[in-house]
Amino acid sequence: MKLRQNFFARRVRPAAVLALLTLALLPAVVSKAQQIADPNFDTKVARPAYAKKHPKVLFDEAHNNFHTADGRYKPFAELIKSDGYEITPNRQPFTLSSLKPFDILVISNALGAPQMNAAEASNPAFTDAECDAVRDWVKAGGALLFIADHAPMGAAAERLAERFGVGMSKAYTLDEANTPPGDNNPGFIVYAREKGSLADHPVTRGRNDAERVKRVIAFTGQSLKGPEGSVAFMKLADTAKDAQPGVGAQVSAAGRAQGVAFAFGRGRVVVMGEAGMLSAQLAGPNQVPFGMNRPGIDNRQLALNLMHWLSRLI
């Protein structure tokens, strides 16, 4: 079923919106049983960025995270380990003392409840004290990769995002005009350097021409508004829309993004509005490649470049 941009707002009763979104945006919201890490994804890095020094990465698993280092984000974790990063899973609340030994904090799709389809999943995933600790740690020189996907992840992450001046739509972002050829999912969005939607920044430029990112795909997420001075390196088109599940209305996502980077005090922050693009998963009953393992895109290189910028290699 191909969606029209005004379909939900004008033709569908609010009660039916969430069900239609779930059907239309597969495999982004497939059940956990149908969404697994791709065991055949190549995580080897021929020339690791860190052969001697190994930046320490704390990988959050304490907040009902849909993505963990040994679960659906294992390909990402193995990729950056191959590049020389040292990963430690986090299974405790954030405090300044627990964060202090680490260079980078990775948070992907924290939730307010263990099950994504539970009503409580949209509750805040972090306490105020944890949000303050992360903010103060970054301000003092830490680096944060913060990923919060489509509903309910945006709502669960909003409290922490606000500490950094990032606005989250808490919706499903759609853009039919930039859907990949052959896909009928308006939540799949192509960002291309040649079109200007993939902006020039160290995370898209890399260290040399071989690391230059030209084309990436996001696999259904939410839109973001970065703080003043941030760079929207994945800029949404003026045609993009945010669809609120259960409401039956769409609003323009023009001027928003799905990837922003900025300095914060002495630290650095990257916030992503879509998580699947940095994974390498097999989705649905046909086990379709979904993430860095999809052919013809530079998502794998973007993942490495993001970490290089956060660790101040670039």
Q: Are strands 250-252 and 241-243 parallel, antiparallel or unpaired?
A: antiparallel
7-30+51-310 domain in CATH 3.40.50.880? yes
| pLDDT confidence of residue 143 | 99
d(CA 258, CA 191): 10
DSSP state of 101: T
d(CA 22, CA 3): 12
| pLDDT confidence of residue 12 | 32
Q: Of 94, 183, 141, 147, nearest to 270 (Cα)? A: 147
Mean pLDDT, residues 297-308 taken together: 98
pLDDT band at residue 21 using 50, 70 and 90 as cut-offs: very low
pLDDT tens-place string over residues 117-150: 999 999 999 999 999 999 999 999 999 999 999 9
pLDDT band at residue 31 using 50, 70 and 90 as cut-offs: very low
pLDDT tens-place string over residues 69-96: 999 999 999 999 999 999 999 999 999 9
pLDDT band at residue 201 using 50, 70 and 90 as cut-offs: very high
Mean pLDDT, residues 151-161 taken together: 97
pLDDT band at residue 28 using 50, 70 and 90 as cut-offs: very low
Name the residue ranges covered by the structural domains of the chain: 7-30+51-310
Mean pLDDT, residues 9-17 taken together: 33
Q: Which of 16-20, 68-72, 231-235, 287-291 is least confident?
A: 16-20
Q: Which has more confidence, 13 or 176?
A: 176
pLDDT tens-place string over residues 209-231: 999 999 999 999 999 999 999 99
d(CA 26, CA 24): 6
Is there a contact between 130 and 93 (Cβ–Cβ < 8 Å)? yes
**pLDDT at position 17 over 90:** no
Letter for the amino acid at 10? R
| pLDDT confidence of residue 168 | 98
| pLDDT confidence of residue 2 | 29
pLDDT band at residue 286 using 50, 70 and 90 as cut-offs: confident
What percent of the chain stands above pLDDT 90? 82
Q: Of 160, 107, 166, 167, nearest to 136 (Cα)? A: 160
**pLDDT at position 8 over 60:** no
| pLDDT confidence of residue 229 | 97
Mean pLDDT, residues 248-269 taken together: 96
For residue 117, count CB atoms less than 10 angstroms from its CB and return exposed for 0-12, middle for 13-18, buried for 19 or more: exposed
Mean pLDDT, residues 191-218 taken together: 97
pLDDT band at residue 27 using 50, 70 and 90 as cut-offs: very low
| pTM of the predicted model as reported, rounded to 2 decimal places | 0.90
Is there a contact between 77 and 70 (Cβ–Cβ < 8 Å)? yes
Residue 178 exposure: Cα atoms within 13 Å on the Cβ side: 29
How many C-beta atoms surround the C-beta of residue 280 within 10 A? Answer: 28
